[in-house]
Amino acid sequence: MTDPREGAELTETRKEFPPPSSPRPRPGVVELHRRILLAEIDRTGPDGHRRARTRRRAAVALATAAVASIATVTVVLPDSAAPPAPGSEPASRASVRLLDRAARVAAAGPAHSPRDSQFAYVKVTGHTTSLSETPTGEMKRTREDESYEQWTSVDGSSRTLQRDRGAPGTLLEAPGKGSFSSPTYRFLAGLPADPGEVLAAIYREAKLNHGEGSGSTTGPDQEAFVIIGDLLRVSVAPPQVTATLYRAAARIPGVVVVPSSVDAAGRRGVAVARAHDGERTEWIFDRETSRLLGERTVLLEDSAWGRAGTAVDATAIIAGGFTDEPGERPAEPLDGGREKGAPPE
């Protein structure tokens, strides 16, 4: 039975310390936070951590607005009966030709023979855009440096070292056998040689968190394109595997060519791209060598992230290779066939 004295004390306490007011956030802010949270969910792996491609936009909100937006998301979920996203048409002929050329260039590159005890090294420079809410409720855009170096165990038995912007470095978990979200050289080397089989495996991965009934706003087609782009950008793969990944990407619906694009290092090229939800993800290739230069995400319409045409994310692949120890840089970086011209038609 409740003690009457406790009830009286509680009543007096509430009078003395009334609960804080909970102002209702503006509808535009709630919707913005809802979209941000859904995007972050889409960009997070099944284990709750960001994938190796962590170079994605992060949004920071004030505590009150964040709680309000999360509460909204629990109620306002994507409509499963919504019309399918654009991009169901087959990849364009121009994109298929460009990806085939890139595949032939990659396949012509020198073979790798790393030891299991070694580390695959990649160096990427780039930037991303973050959003934060000011005390007045306005959204502030900030451009952040996302340059990094990464050393991943060839066989996945050792912990990954990631060094952001020249910092001392962070040790991540050992990837083990590897996966599409945490690739190792041995995992990639073990993929099927047939592009159709590889693409089927990637779609199985994509549908786990982005398939029908998942509540994802990305969808398996876009996620498959993103997965392949991440594998090409943040890992070192055998030349034939890289070629297979390019040919698999050519089978994804909605892939097109963008005649002119520029990576985070200012290098211009031609891009293979796919549009989704007001954004276009571009893989940028050197026009002469068909070498993959980098990737960027461009807004197709005005939004809180910026005006149409803004590159909210951009990366540039600077170097790759193998080292004996994490933290070392390769004495002879691999070109992976990237500096070679395409073989004759």
Residues 338/320, Cβ–Cβ less than 8 Å: no
Q: What is the mean pLDDT of residues 325-334?
A: 88
Where is average pLDDT lowest: 30-34, 55-59, 112-116, 261-265? 55-59
CB-based burial label for 259 (10 Å; 0-12, 13-18, 19+): exposed
CB atoms under 10 Å from CB of 170, counted, come to 13
The verdict on pTM exceeding 0.85 is: no
Q: What is the pLDDT of residue 210?
A: 79
Q: Give dist(CA 314, CA 261) in Å, integer.
A: 11
Measure Cα distances from 280 to 87, 271, 304, 314 in Å: 11, 11, 16, 12
Measure Cα distances from 34 to 59, 148, 196 in Å: 11, 30, 36
Alpha helices (runs of H) in 74-218, residue ranges in sequence order: 93-107, 185-189, 195-210
pLDDT for 228-255, tens place per residue?
999 999 899 999 999 999 999 999 999 9
Structure tokens at 60: 């920071």
Q: What is the pLDDT of residue 339?
A: 36
pLDDT for 92-114, tens place per residue?
999 999 999 999 999 999 999 99
Q: Give dist(CA 179, CA 258) in Å, integer.
A: 30
Q: What is the mean pLDDT of residues 113-138?
A: 92
List of residues 6+ apart from 141 with CB closer than 8 A: 129, 130, 131, 304, 305, 306
pLDDT for 28-37, tens place per residue?
444 444 554 5
Structure tokens at 278: 């007001």
Q: Give dist(CA 262, CA 316) in Å, integer.
A: 9
Alpha helices (runs of H) in the chain, residue ranges in sequence order: 4-16, 27-42, 63-73, 93-107, 185-189, 195-210, 220-234, 239-249
Q: What is the pLDDT of residue 335?
A: 56
pLDDT confidence tier of residue 42, bands split at 50, 70 and 90: very low
Residues 237/229, Cβ–Cβ less than 8 Å: no
